[in-house]
Structures are given as structure tokens and as C-alpha cells.
Chains A and B, each alone.
Chain A
Amino acid sequence: MADVDRYEPRGDRGHRGGYGGKKRRLREDDDSYDRRDRPQRRRYEEPTGTRLRKQLLAIAESPLRNAEDEALNIAKITAENWDDQYIKDTFCEISILLVLEQPFKIPFVAACVLHANTQNSEITTEILARAGAKAQGFLETGGWKEVKLLLRFFACLHSLFEDAGVFPILDELFNRAVDLQTASSEDTLGLELVKIILFTIPYIMATSTSESEQQKAAQLLNKTDIVASTPHMLDALVDPYINNEEEENRPMGFQTILTLLQKQLQTEAANEWKLACIPRPYSAVVTSGSDENGDAPTPAKHPFPSITVPTTVKLGPKALFPEIYFSLYADQDIESVPPTSNIAASLIRDTLVDTMNHLDFNRNAVAKFLIEMDCYWAPDTFVKRATPFDKLRAVPENKSTWKPEDLAVDAVFSQLLQLPTPEHKLVYYHSVITESCKIAPAAIAPSLGRAIRFLFRNVDAMDMELFYRFMEWFAHHLSNFEFRWKWTEWLDELDQSDLNPKKAFIIGALDIEIRLSFAKRIRETLPVQYAPLIPEGRDKDTPDFKYADDSTPYAEEGREILALLKKKASEDEIQTVMDKISAKAAEHNVQDVLVPCTDAYMTSVCYIGAKSISHVLSCIDRCKERLLAIGPQSEPARRQIISSVVDYWRDQPGVAVNIVDKLLNYTIITPVSVIEWALTDRLDRGRALARSQTYELVATTMAKVMNRVRQIVD
């Protein structure tokens, strides 16, 4: 049966569609997966392939096991069974897949290869060949994320290249970047290529710092300086905070990832490439060329796989924009995340973001990796998990005060609030935060609280679209956690005018909460001082029909229209009443008589369909002939359709937005009419801009139009 089991997601298993709860009935369930098909043998020894797969997939995940030992073990299993094609494939395919999907494991996967190399150099040959082929493929299709990660893999393997290793490719990429940048000032692909170069260098230098490598790195850094340090014309587009403040007064510094990385690398170069945060689980291989007996041969060297950068480089599947380094916690009094001067800030953020964006198909795994990020960097990079923020002051001088939870929350928000758009739907990032809070509430919740306070404090300087993203996230997030928040903190804002950004934020957030729940419930979660923000009108399921009140103009005719629509009268009968309205309107010198007619008609449709969206949809469907005829006759009347809907549902702005969306689908109204209605008719000397409904109407209409255009173009 489909729904018998109580739905209980378990973080570590990654939920499938819903089973996993207790079995209450003896009757067999289709989904029992454990009892039937396991063999009944007592000692069940897993086949080697399975063991290898499991160990490799889980490398470095446990803080209790030493990652280097794990790598040694994996290398041993692989080397001992290298004749087996299945083992070959398991090792190579999983390694490469890990590089692409779980980039924080790249140093550890590389360690497996380095250790395996000492036992059987064929393994290295094979995996270099496969990784090289993959890199070539991505270079040709413009898969730049994948190219970056594969180059990082090669960088971690640098000690086993007999030639210049990754450097020639980096030089080639730089040449392409220069060509692109000189060809156009709007070019962003060139920036991306330089970013790849800069993100590869630290991993080379962490592995081996021979003279020649240091020289090559210095040369590269010299060349990239110009590209990385020049502001780009699209920078202002991606700035989360409105840039009319002095640099010191900005809530968050403005630096692009590229500029920061260039500076950080130059700092590291001047400090002998300490690169403290990068893990090095391959010391046994690299630092000592032979084992204790002193007679083992030095590990075999290999040529770098033959990879050629295409002469014309493709943009790839997505448009590229400059990226700024977004941080809610950086460069403040207490160093709970790496300062922007430290290369750890860039390296850790880069892997967190890549992991999040590659593994969007399993948010539970992502949340787990975020919480457990300290396993994948050098020991003591972070302070102990869930250390309270206040306790950071007590940490001894030379020890780290970086909280992994802060880095995690920072990374997710850097995507949620990325301009122009993040890689995935916004709600994906909502769900990552939700899952993180579920699996480690004590650790994440305080960091999240500080993030919310930072964003709220600076909400008046925020880009408008980001303001709404933050608001929508906040309401949706609370709906997963019983709407709990310290609302008393914001009591002062309630005295402000509704036009004040902070007040508008609160009003908008509560509105979304109510849409996800209901007015009475939300009132219960708030201090009494918030009650005026949720007037009684919101409790009503069916708003009053204005024509029931005789003081409303055309009240009688409005009621007649309603009655006719309810009994599904003929168009002629309806037209008779419409003519009555037109005549009355003309007598009162109304300019466009179709407007009050439309008002009566559409308001009646809303009232009839007040029960649910399905109801109003079926009513609109029945009335669509007349409604479609209105627009071509009179633009003001078309806009009146919108007015009637929004006015009828004035206490439930969300419902109005949904209905307007459906009317657009029917083409009863046009995108232009919505925009003009919102930003001209109803601007109310600018007051409308403080209402989230205005933004929603414009934003959803624009999104619809863009989607259509995209569909046509594709």
C-alpha cells in the first residue's frame, strides 16, 4: 500500500520516497527491503569490489579514522586486485566521480592514487588516462566547473609528474583568457579561466614546492594580476548592497572572488606557501621517497596526460557573471570565519559551494557534508563543532576560532543571495538550511540566528530582489520549525511607518507565513504587540461581496450579475444588466463605461470562486469569452480586471497574485497590463513599492515572460 508507513526521513540514508517508519502490521509490505533478500549465511563477507566501493566513497568521512590510513588501505586493495576489471572500473570511476561531485575529497582521492602508485604504477597510468580524457571532454564542451576540479585533482598529484605537470595547461588557459578579455570588455569567460588557474595553484604548491614550481607559480601570478585586479563592468550588477555608501559604511565589503584570490595567493607566495588549511594525507609518499628499509624504489613518475585546450573556448551551458565574495561574518570583531585576507576563505568557500551545487539531488547528503566539513581540511583548521560564539574569545591566541557552522551558513546564503541568480531554484537552498537545522540543531541554529540578525539589520541597504528572497526564505524556514522566532527582538520596528524597510519586511514575512498556514495560528506565535499586523479580515475565508452593501455604486446591478452568473444565465441576460450599468455610468460622466461593468463582472467571478483556486478557475473558464473580449475593447477595463481581483482579495494578497497568474495564462490580461497596473495605476506616490504584493506581481509576470521567451529560443 502506498501510504501505510509513517513518513520519517533519516538524514544518513538519504530519504527515498517515504518508507522507513515502523511496521505496524504483520501483513507483508511491498517495501520490506532488509529481511527477505539477504542470504542467511552467518558470516557474510562482502565481495572485494563492494568493500572497495564503500571505503572509497566514505573516505575521510569519519573523524575517528585516520584519512591517510584509509587511503593506504584503499590503495592496497586496489593494487592487490588490479587484474580484476571490476576493481579497475570501481577504483577509477568512483575516484573521478568523487572529484567531480565531492570536491572536498579531492586531496584524499589523490592520496589513494599516490599510495597506489608506490605499489603498482599501472594504476596511476590508468586513472591519469581516464581523468585526462574526461578533462578533454569538458574543455571541449565548456564544462568549466568540471575542468577546474579535474585540474585540482592533477594538482594534488603533482609530485608524480615527470614533466611540468599542470602548468602548461594553465599557461594555455591564460592565453585564451587574454584573447577573450582583449576582444570584449564584457567578457566573463576569460575571468572564469583565470579563476580556474588561481584555484589550481594552491593545490600544486601544497603538494610540492620545488624551485621550478615556485618560479612557475610566481610567473603565472604576475600574468594574472592585471586580469584579476581590474574591476569588471558587470560588477555593480552583482552587488548585493546598494552601492551609494562610502566603503566603510557598507554592511559587507565588496570584493570579487577573483581579486581576493589573487591577493591571497600573493600573500601565500610571500610566506613560502604555508597553505595551512589544505590537508596532506600523503606525507608518507611525498616527503620520503623510500620506506623504512631504504631499498624501495622511488615512486614511478608519469607524463602528464595529453590534454589540449581548444583554440576557441566555449562558454558552456550557463551564462557567467563576476562573483563577489559574500560573507555575513567575515572581517568582523570576532574571527568566526577566515578573514578575507586568508586564502582559506576562498578555498573552503569554493568547495562548499561546488558540493552544494553538484549534489542538489540529495540535500540530506549536502547538509551532512556541511556539518562535517572539518573532516576534510587540515587538523585544527576549525574550532570544535558547536562551540558557542561567546566562547570564541576564550580560545588561546594561536588557535583557530573558525566555526564550521558559520562557514556552512555563510556558504548557503552566498548562493541564496547571489545575483543575478544562483545555480538552482531558491527553494533548494532553503531545503539545505532546513536539513542542516534538523540534523544539527544545536550547532546550526545559533549561527543562523546571527545571520538573520545581520541581514535584518542591513535590510534597508539590500538589493530589492535580495530583500524579497530573504523575506521568502525566512517565512518558509520558520514554517518548518513551528514558526518559532524571537519576535520580541523586533518590537521597536513596529512603531515605524509601513514604508520603513524593516517594518515592510516583517509585514511581508508574516503574510507569507499566513499563506503557508492560517491567520489564527500565526497570531498565536507572535507577541500581542504584533496583533495589529494581522487584522481580523485575514481570518475570513470568503471576503464580503461589496455589492451587497447598497452604498456601493452599482450595488443593485452588481447583485444581479452575481445572481445571473450563479444560475449560469445566458449571455444576453448578462448583457442587459451590463447595459444598465453602462447607462448609469454615462449619466455620471464616467469616462470609460466598460470599467464599472468589468468591475461588477469580475468581482462576482471572484466571489463565486472564493472557496478555492480550483473554484475560481472553473468560474473563469466559464466566463472566459466575455473576459477575453474586454482587453481588446478597452485597456483601462482590462486593468480593471486586475483591480477587481486585488481589491476583492485585499486581505489575502497571495490569492490575488495566484489569480492574476492564472488570468495571464488565459491571456485575459497581458504582462504589460500587470506591470502598468502595479507601477503606474496603483503606485500611490510610491507607497505601493513597500508592499510585497507589488513586487510579487511584477516579478512573477516578468519570470513568466522570460520563461516563454526561453522556451521559444531553445
Chain B
Amino acid sequence: VKPCWILCAFLFSLSRSDGEEQVGQGEQKSSPARPSFGKKQLPSIPKNAVPITKAASPAPSTQSANGTHASYGPFYLEYSLLAEFTLVIKQKLPGIYVQPSYRSALMWFGVIFIRHGLYQDGVFKFTVYIPDNYPDGDCPRVVFDTPVFHPLVDPVSGAGVRRAFTKWRRNHNHIWQVLMYARTVFYKINTMDPLNPEAAVLYDKDIQLFKSKVVDSVKLCNSHLFDQPKIDDPYAISFSPWNPAVHEEAKEKMFAHKRRPEDYNKGLPVSGLSWVKPGSTQPFSKEDNPLQT
């Protein structure tokens, strides 16, 4: 059975994020929603909320980064994370997909597809937890939903790959690097400072046994692929068996999306004007056709 993922719809919606309404799940009417990245934004105003008279309580953690008004701290955090997220998209990491959760920008859902090597055909879901004093805190944590058998993945909690960034430095470290690292460890096995000492020892001592354990582990992980997401969140990544009624349309959209730039321009009236010849810095320098079409 070939899985098709909710992710498709998400990626589609993401790609259209500059301006169009998101195909968001659980869109709330009362929300002051921003169309794009809408649900990674702040939660909506509770409809029946009692007017809150309590003065803003400046939380120490939010005053941190820029040392200005505490009340704007969350906005800086949100936008820093959005910036990180757009960086991730920009990197086009092969086989890795993430999306921030509906509830909080500090929690991202992800899935990684291993295409060759020992872990070939593995599909591992994970969650990224970002410290709330980002970018001045620790390295974001990656926790696999099912603890895959790997020297750098904790066999109980599923936590892994933290090791690569002992100290998180703003401006230098980015979340895409964490994801990239998470991907790399499945291709190039490293047994230093293992979180799963058994796996590490086995890899070094008995590669055949290690391999067979990995195969079992990959099978186990993939057998849980269609389980309900561990975290109940509208934006959690969930897999379901291929169902043409549900997925065919999304798939078509996905492929159609490749021709997007032209479609996009056709659909909307182009409101800008230009009669500047490319390469020129003179106004009205387009000679051949001075009249824009």
C-alpha cells in the first residue's frame, strides 16, 4: 500500500501562502487570522472570554532576546520561528517534511524518509520541541514517535540527535541544520556518545546483528505508520492508506502546483506597472512595446 500523506495538502497550502486563504483545517471564525501560516500564529480570542483586567504580567523569559517591551516578546518569538520555518522550506531538505503545530509555534511535526542505506524505506515521524527562550536557549530537541533502533536515538523516549549542537548560537545555528543532521545520522552511522549504547556496541561489534535489528525496527516503525498521531493536533502529520476519493485530488493539485507561477499570474490581475527596460535604469525605456499588456 502506498501511503499518501496529509502532508500533501499542507505543502500545497504552504506554497500558496503569500496571499491566498489557507486550506487550513479547523479554521476558526473568531480568529483574527492571518491567512498564511495562520494556525502557527497566536491562538484566537476566546469568544466568551471575560474581559481581562489583569495587567500584563511580564514573563521573564519573554523579555530576553531584545530587551524591549515584554508584551511584544511573543511576537518576536513567533516571527523568529516563522523565519526559521521559511529557512527550512528554502533548504528543500531531501526526504524531510515538517510543519509547526496548530497549538504552538514551538512544536513542529516532522517526518523523514530514508531512501537508501541501512535504514532504507524507513519512515520516521518525529516532533521538534523548541525552547521558549529561542534563539537564546538550548538546541531544539528532536523526538521520534517510535524509538527507532539507532545509536543516537534514545530507545525509550525516542529523543535523539541533540548532540551535534552542544551550544546553540543565534544567527549561526538554525533549525534546518538540526533536521539536516537528523537525516544524516541515518546514512552515516556514528557511535560516539550514544543514547542507545546497545545499538552502538552492536554496530561496532556485530554489524550483521545490528543490520537485522535495524530491519526489524524499520518494519516496526512502518507498521505504526497509520496509527493516530501521538499528539492530538490539527496539524499533526497523519498517514492513511491510499484512498483515491480522498487523495487523488490532492495528488493532482500537487503536480499541478509545479506550474504555479504562470497560473498564479493569470489568476490575479497584475496591478503593478513597469515600462523600464530590463538592464536600464531609465523610466519608460522599453522601446518596442511602450504599452504594457
Do A and B share a complex?
A: no
